[in-house]
Amino acid sequence: MEIHFTREQEAKLSQIAAEKGKNAEQLVADAALRLLQDDAQFRLAVRKGIEQADRGELIEEEEMNARVERMFKP
């Protein structure tokens, strides 16, 4: 697979990679692998949620809003 970046994007990727002690190719490969892992985890969580909903294991909107709020608090 080939990925094409603009010169500006390549320069920025090289800068970030250098700051992390990597080369740009490894930086992009690591990011792609993280994306695949995150996607798999997300899909698993969605499936789990659908299964819970199918079993009638639901929560009220207020509780969901409170949970989301807690997730994003620093």
pLDDT at 24 over 90: yes
Average pLDDT over residues 5-22: 96
pLDDT at 47 over 90: yes
pLDDT at position 1, please?
87
Average pLDDT over residues 26-38: 97
Q: How many CB atoms sit inside 10 A of residue 18's CB? A: 12
In angstroms, how far apart are the furthest CA atoms of the chain? 53
- Rounded to an integer, what distance in angstroms lies between the CA atom of residue 62 and that of residue 64? 5
pLDDT at position 74, please?
80
Quick check: 12 and 24 in contact, CB under 8 A?
Answer: no
pLDDT in tens, 52-62: 999 999 999 99
Which residues lie below 8 Å from residue 26, measured CB to CB, with a gap of 6+? 17
